[in-house]
Structure 1
Amino acid sequence: MKLQNAFVCYLDLLGVKNKTGRGTLKELNAQVELLGSFMREIQRRQTGYARNISMGECNSYIKVFSDNIVLVMPLKIKDKVDSAHRFSILLKSIEEVLSEASFAGLLIRGGISYGKAICNDFMVAGDALIKAYNIESKISKYPRVVIDRSIGELIEEVPYKVAKDLDGELFFHYLYDASESYLGFNKRHVENCIKNTGQDIFKYIEKYRWLIDYHNACCKEKDSLLMIDPSIIGTIELQTKISTVGWAKLAQPNVYCDKQPPD
């Protein structure tokens, strides 16, 4: 058991404490069952599709604890092509987690880093985990998965599912190849999350603002009419005040990394 180079992704389920901390006993039990079902599905993937098919060839790990999920992708050799392959597989697994979270009505924020890590069936530790946690807790801010810029130096090319936000941070562009039907699903997911927030909406407006901007920018790129009405989070006056805070939004094609997706 020793430290090795690895990509590490730290994911945090947003709003879980609020969902499970108040309401009637029936409502609390329903929320706990929903969260439990989501976590069980993620754990099932650890020994099922994610490990045996999607990530199994690379001997990766998925750890679930409390309201957090950690994915570890070890790097066996110092080769940019192999590293790019493993990083792409990691993004695929993160995409699966985000998809499951959406079906459960949950939002996720996260960070991906590179460094030393140790992970087995009993534990996960190392500076890569600490860096991924710091990215999630201090840099991501919004329901996005931010990627450490140093990773770009380790891989042959930047995957086309990586985009650059207006604040300069790289993040996982999970709606890049979304179909019209999935855009419709994502629209309902975001709108339902906002509507179900209730009186706490003021605490999460910047996060929802980012989600709306990201979704609508993707719809614009795809000439889709499935945009979300920004007024769902409040009045124009309120949105104007928020805009001065500096919330990020994905806007034009130049937000992408230098590597463009294939035709």
Structure 2
Amino acid sequence: MNLSPPISRNPYYTVDKEPSLIKSVFAFIDILGYKGIVLKAREDNTEIIMFRRLYNALKSGRYRLEKSCTNGNDKEFDDTVNYLNESSTEKDDYFLKAFTDNIVIGFPENNNNHIYFQVIISKLARFQFEMIEKDFFIRGAISYDEAYIDDIVVFGSALTEAYKGESIEAINPRIILTESAVKAIYSYIDRHPDLTSHNKIPSSWIKLNLLEDADGKWFINYLNAAFLDYFDYNSEPNLEIILKHKELVENNLEKHKENNCVWLKYVWVAHYHNFFCNLHSEYLFEKHKIILPLNPYDFREISLSSE
């Protein structure tokens, strides 16, 4: 009888070695209004339905984490990464742990950190969009520091910074980049004079996949998923995705109109939605937008300091 322990795909875990902190891109994510969702399901006797919806959302989101898409029209790169992921019997490149309304995802550092940041942000964008499609809007923060995560413990400076970012700084349903993550990405921008051509993040990719909010926080532009057909990048957006997102936001604005604190968070999402439509006005028109009485938000494309 083979009594050897099962092989763990957790990239933080090594058999017969003490756990160690590893430099990681780390995401701490919270489901918006989770307590209210659970209480309402309990009142309506639909708790099992809500549970299965959440379970399927996390299952779909995990699937997106296991794939790669740069959201930057680099299909050859995506195909290569997907092939390596699917053909490998070795470790995953991330570990996910979900408990109550919190989700933590750790991506240990590898030797291609410029590609690594592109892949992770793209994966998290797809994860966020998958959750939203199941009507779970989320907020969170991404940090870059030392961490360890397994079934027993989640620990490290990356966790501390990401938790602070999610709980204090994110505020609205957005996944922000903390100071450490922004600093790391800046070190790989393609205008950096000390980098070779193979160690750079194109500034064009940053402008496609990240936006800057009025408070100066960078956040993931998850609606860019509308340009994806599963994992293939299209030159035009999927209008059904945009209209679905519009419907979900409008429904939540109506549902939460008596709860001003939650309602304002969906107002933020509505203005982000409309900003995205304006960015792609050659494809998206007034019928794709959400009607709101005023616009207190000032989104903008990221302006890199070296431009």
With structure 1 as the length reference, what TM-score do the two structures score? 0.79
CA distance in 2, matches of 1:90, 1:58: 13
**2:128 aligned residue:** 98
Query: 1:66 maps to what in 2?
Result: 100
Query: 2: CA distance between counterparts of 1:184 and 1:25?
Result: 28
Q: Greater CA deviation, 151-160 or 85-94?
A: 151-160
Q: Which of 228, 237, 258 is the aligned partner of 2:304?
A: 258
1:117 lines up with 2:165 in the alignment: no
CA distance in 1, matches of 2:127, 2:103: 9
Cα distance, 1:175 vs structure 2:
2.1
CA–CA distance in structure 1, aligned partners of residues 107 and 214 of structure 2: 28
Q: Which residue of 2 aligns with 1:34?
A: 53
Counterpart in 2 of 1:174? 222
Question: Which segment drifts farther, 136-145 or 209-218?
Answer: 209-218
Q: Which runs of 5+ in 1 are unaligned?
A: 232-238
Aligned length: 237
Partner of 1:212: 270
Among 25, 28, 31, the alignment partner of 1:13 is: 31
Spell out, residue by residue over 1:219-240, the C-alpha distance to the aligned partner (whole angstroms, 9 max, x if none): 1121122110115xxxxxxx6x
The question of 1:230 aligning with 2:289 is answered no
For 1:31 and 1:19, how far apart are their aligned partners in 2? 8
2:247 alignment partner in structure 1: 188
CA distance in 1, matches of 2:158, 2:67: 25
- Please state if 1:127 is matched with 2:157: yes
Task: Determine which structure has more spread, i.e. the larger CA radius of gyration.
Answer: 2
Report SS of the residue matched to 1:230.
Answer: coil
**Is there any run of 5+ residues in structure 2 with no aligned partner, and where?**
1-18, 69-81, 190-202, 227-236
Shift of 1:189: 1.7
Which residue does 1:146 correspond to in 2? Answer: 176
Post-superposition shift, 1:19? 1.0
Cα 1:92/1:73, change in 2 over 3 Å: same
1:234 corresponds to which residue?
none
Hey, what's the Cα distance between the residues in 1 that align with 2:20 and 2:124?
25
* Structure 1 residues 206 and 195, CA gap change in structure 2 (3 angstroms): closer
Q: Write the distance in 2 (CA, Å) between the matches of 1:133 and 1:174.
A: 20
The normalised TM-score by structure 2 is 0.68
Indicate conservation of the 8 Å contact 2:64/2:127, yes or no: no
Instruction: Work out the CA distance in 2 between the residues paired with 1:177 and 1:257.
Output: 22
Letter in 2 for 1:171: F
Match of 2:96, SS state, is strand
Shift of the 228–5 alpha-carbon distance from structure 1 to 2, 3 Å rule, reads same
Cα deviation, residue 49, structure 1? 4.6
The answer (yes or no) to whether the contact 2:145–2:180 under 8 Å persists in 1 is no
Q: Deviations over 1:18-74 (max 9, x none)?
A: 01113634333432332233234445667x657945x98772212222111111111
- SS, match of residue 142 in structure 1: coil
State the distance in 2 between where 1:36 and 1:197 align.
23
CA distance in 2, matches of 1:4, 1:15: 32
Contact 1:110 / 1:140 at 8 angstroms: preserved in 2?
yes
Q: Is the 8 A contact 1:4 1:75 kept in 2?
A: yes
The question of whether the paired residues in 1 share the 8 Å contact of 2:28 and 2:141 is answered with yes
Root-mean-square deviation over aligned CA pairs: 2.8
| Cα distance in 1 for residues equivalent to 2:245 and 2:298 | 17
Structure 1 SS opposite 2:271: helix
